[in-house]
Structure formats: structure tokens, C-alpha cells
Amino acid sequence: MERITPLLDYGHRDFGENKVQEAIDKWLEVKNKNNSIKLHLIGKLQTNKVKYALKIFDYIHSLDSKKLAKKIADEQLKLSKKLKIFIQVNIGFEEQKSGVSVEELEDLYKYSINLGLDIIGLMCIPPVGKKSDDYFKKLKLLNDNLSLNDLSMGMSSDYISAINNNATYLRIGSEIFGKRD
């Protein structure tokens, strides 16, 4: 927290975390003292962690299946809490990456809306070593086709390209905090 406190003091309020347990350990006490902080889960969310994630996060950037959508919807009802959610799209068709396929995106979107989830946009992580701009353009088009307003894309290495393609949420932690230990 010693690296985050100066940002809080400066007025920064949105922070991303990759892992649910790390976020709980790091943020629970801080969030209880300052409800203006918004936490974003930017890493993969497993269904067995949903009930913990909903207690601390305000945004989920990694919805990628109907099973996960149903679990989130059920937990939101239990907690009377509604998160803002991005559907993660496997824009590069990479087997090792999470995300719904482009072909299944519309079906997952409609299913999630019918469950009452607040889907605000799409998220992607382009393939490493490829031109991010091409993938960001494709995600923007998919987002526009669903009439969504927000795009979660771009990291420290490609955030300028993401901004040029209308990204509204960027993941630039390593540019601010340095590489993870």
C-alpha cells in the first residue's frame, strides 16, 4: 500500500487487481474507510471466487462464460449489489487466453443482459508480438455493434493505440508502479 497511498492522496480512485485474494488482503480495510475507491478485477475470475469478488470489486473486466454470468447474477441478488461488467473477448483466437470467442459474443451478451447483469462494454488482450491496433479496431467494431459505451483495452505497451481506438479503461499499472515482483 505504500506505493498506492500517494495516488490516493492525489485523488486517484480507480485501481485494478488481477487476483481476488490479493485484492481482499490489500484493499478491504482501505475500501471500508473510503467508499469512493473503485476496484476493477482485471484478471480471470473463477466461479468459486465470485462470492468473494463481489464483496470487494465494483467492476469485473473478465466475464467469459454463461456459467460465470449465472454465478455473478446469483451472487448479486444475494448481496443486493450490482457491478459494472465487461465481457472479455478472445480477440486473437488464442487457446491459452480466456475470453469468449467472437462467434459466441452476441449470445453471451444477450444471456447476460437477460440475467440482469450491467454489461457496460467489452475487454480484450491482443496477442503478444502482434500489432495491437488491428485487434483494438475489431473490438471497437464489436462494441459498437452491441451499442455499448465502454472499452477495456490497452496496457502499458499499447495504451496509445487503445486510446486512439476509443478505449475508456486502460491497464497501465506497470507504467505507474513498475513490474510486479
- pLDDT tens digit string along 93-108? 777 788 999 999 999 9
pTM of the model: 0.92
Residue 39 clears pLDDT 80, i.e. is over it: yes
Could you report the per-residue pLDDT of 117-167, keeping only the tens digit for each?
999 999 999 988 888 999 999 999 999 999 999 999 988 888 899 999 999
6 vs 99, more confident: 99
Q: Where are the alpha helices (DSSP H) in 5-124?
A: 5-10, 20-33, 50-56, 66-79, 102-114
Q: Which residue has the higher pLDDT, 180 or 144?
A: 144
Query: Spelled out in words, what is the top-level CATH class assigned to the domain 5-177?
Result: alpha beta
Find the length of the chain. 181
Weakest-pLDDT range from 12-26, 106-120, 136-150:
12-26
**Residue 43 CB burial class (10 angstroms; 0-12, 13-18, ≥19):** middle
Helix H or strand E encompassing 161: helix 159-164
Higher pLDDT, 101 or 35: 101
Assign residue 107 a region (left: φ > 0; alpha: ψ between -120 and 50; beta: otherwise): alpha
C-alpha grid cell, residue 71: 454465478
Closest CA to 40 of 150, 147, 115, 145: 150
pLDDT band at 57 (very low <50, low <70, confident <90, very high): very high
- CA nearest neighbour of 166 among 127, 121, 130: 121
Nearest CA-CA partner of 81 in 125, 129, 40, 117: 117
Decide which of 79 and 11 is more confident: 79
C-alpha cell at 100: 469468449
Q: Tell me the three-class secondary structure of 15-47, residue by residue.
A: EEECCHHHHHHHHHHHHHHCCCCEEEECCCCCH
- Averaged pLDDT of the chain: 91
